[in-house]
Amino acid sequence: MNEEEEKYDLKIILLGSSKVGKTTLVNRLTQGTFENPEQTTGATFSKKKYQGELQEYTFSIWDTAGEERFDSLSSFYCRNSGCELILYDITDRNSFTNLDRFFDKLQYTNEDSFVILIGTKLDLIEETSKLRKVTLEEGKKKANDKNSYFFEISSKTGHNIQELWETVGDLFEKNSQKNEIKHRQDNNHFQINSFTNNQKKKNCC
C-alpha cells in the first residue's frame, strides 16, 4: 500500500522538556534501536502498527521540540490528539517541576484522549541510585493528581517499553469500542458513502 494512502487510527503526541528523551523513545518504539538523535525542530511524525484483539491499527506518533520558546507551536500539534505521552527525565529535577506547562496543553486534545506520564532514563540509576532526582512515588503522585497513567522506562535497555506500548493500545481499543456503538447509530451510512466516493476520486485522478 502506498504510504500516502494510509489511514491513522490514533494520534499520539510526545511532550516534555528538551533532552528528556522524546525522540529516543520514538526511535525505540518504531525502529527498536537506541541512538543519539539530532535535536528536533518543530515536530516530526512517524507511525507504528498495533496488533489489536480483532484487527491491526496504525498509530501516528508526533514528536515535538521541547524548548520552551517553541511552546506556542506545540499547542498546534496537540490538536485532535488521542493520546499524550508526557515525559520527564528522572535524573533531572527541572524536567519534572516543569511538567505543568505540558499538562496545560491538554485543552487542545480530543475529549477521550488519555495521558501517560513517563519518567525516562531508568537505566542511568541502575548502577548508582544517586543520580535519581525524582522518586518513583513523586512520579506516581503527579500522575494520580493529573488523572493519568504512569510508567518509568528506559529507551536504552527497553525496560517497560513493551508494557507502555500495550497500555496505549489497550486504552485506545477500549475507547474505540465505546465510540463504535455511538457511531453505528448515526454515522454508519454516511461513512460508507464517503469512503466509496474517495476511492473513486483516487482512481480517476
Q: Which of 50, 57, 77, 114 binds other proteins (CB under 8 A)?
A: 77
Do the Cβ atoms of 12 and 85 come closer than 8 Å? yes
Do the Cβ atoms of 71 and 100 come closer than 8 Å? no
Instruction: Check binding of 127 to other proteins (CB under 8 A).
Output: no
Q: Which of 30, 48, 52, 71 binds other proteins (CB under 8 A)?
A: 71
Q: What is d(CA 2, CA 16) in angstroms, rounded to the nearest whole number?
A: 32
Q: Which of 69, 130, 189, 200 binds other proteins (CB under 8 A)?
A: 69
Binding string, 41-60, against other proteins, x = CB under 8 A?
xxxxx-x------------x
Q: Which of 79, 101, 141, 174 binds other proteins (CB under 8 A)?
A: 79
Give, in degrees to the nearest 5, the angle at Cα 96 between 28 and 42. Answer: 55
Instruction: Check binding of 111 to other proteins (CB under 8 A).
Output: no
Looking at 72-80, 97-105, 160-168, 183-191, which segment touches other proteins (CB under 8 A)?
72-80
Measured CA to CA in angstroms, residue 149 lies from 15, 35, 72, 113, 119 at distances of 15, 26, 25, 12, 11
Rounded to a whole number of angstroms, the minimum distance from the CB of residue 144 to other proteins is: 31
Task: Select 23 or 148, whichever has its Cβ closest to other proteins.
Answer: 23
Task: Select 148 or 154, whichever has its Cβ closest to other proteins.
Answer: 154
Rounded to a whole number of angstroms, the minimum distance from the CB of residue 106 to other proteins is: 18
Q: What is d(CA 180, CA 81) in angstroms, rounded to the nearest whole number?
A: 18
Q: What is d(CA 14, CA 9) in angstroms, rounded to the nearest whole number?
A: 17
Q: What is d(CA 59, CA 50) in angstroms, rounded to the nearest whole number?
A: 7
Q: Which of 12, 25, 29, 65 binds other proteins (CB under 8 A)?
A: 65
Q: How many CA atoms lie within 13 A of 78 on its CB side?
A: 24
Instruction: Check binding of 39 to other proteins (CB under 8 A).
Output: yes
Closest Cα partner for 90 from 117, 63, 68?
Answer: 117
- Tell me which residues touch other proteins (CB under 8 A): 3-8, 11, 18, 33-36, 38-45, 47, 60, 65-67, 69-73, 76-77, 79-80, 198, 201-202, 205
